[in-house]
A and B are shown apart, each in its own frame.
Chain A
Amino acid sequence: MAQIGQFALALAWVVTAYSIVASLLGIHLKHDKLVASGRNAALGTFVCITTAIACLGYLFAVSDFSIKYIAAHSNRDLPIYFKVSSIWGGQEGSLLFWGWLLTLYSALVIVQNWRKHSAMMPYVVAVLMATSFFFTSMHLFIVNPFNQTVFLQSNASPLPFVPSDGNGLNPLLQDAYMVIHPPMLYLGFVGFAVPFAFAIAAMITKQLGDTWIRTTRRWTMVAWMFLSIGIMLGGKWAYHELGWGGFWAWDPVENASMMPWLIGTAFLHSVMVQEKKGMLKVWNMVLIILTFIMSIFGTLLTRSGMVQSVHAFAQSPVGGYFRAFIIVALSGALYLLFDRLPYLKSENQMESIVSRESSFMFNNLILLAACFAVFWGTMFPIISEAATGSKITVGPPFFNKVNVPIAIFLMFLTGVGPLLAWRRASTNSLKRNFLSPAVIALASGVALYFRGVQHFYAWLSIVMSIFVTLTIIREFYKGAAARSSGTGETFLEAVVNLTLRNTRRYGGYIVHFGFVLLFIGWAGQAFTTDAEGEMGIGDTLSIREYTLRVDKLGIEDTPNYASDKATMSLFEYGKKVANLYPEKRLYKAGQEKQPTTEVSIYSSAKNDVYVVFQGGTGDGKKAIIQVFYNPLTMWVWIGGIVLVAGTLIALLPNKKTILRRRPEIESKEERKEVEKTV
Chain B
Amino acid sequence: MLAYIIQRVGQSALVLLIVGLVAFSMFRFVGDPIDNMLGQERTAEDIDRLRAQLGLDQPFVVQYYKFLEGAVQGNFGVSYRQGRPVAEILLERAPATLELAMVSGVLAILFGIALGVFTAIRRDGVLANVIMSASLLGVSLPTFLIGILLIYLFSVELGWLPSFGRGETVDLGGWSTGFLTESGLKALILPSITLGLYQMTLIMRLVRSEMLEVLRQDYIRFARARGLRDRAVNFRHALKNTMVPVITVIGLQLGAIIAFAIITETVFQWPGVGLLFINAIQFVDIPVMAAYLMLISVMFVGINLLVDILYFFIDPRLRADRSGGH
Chains A and B are bound partners = no
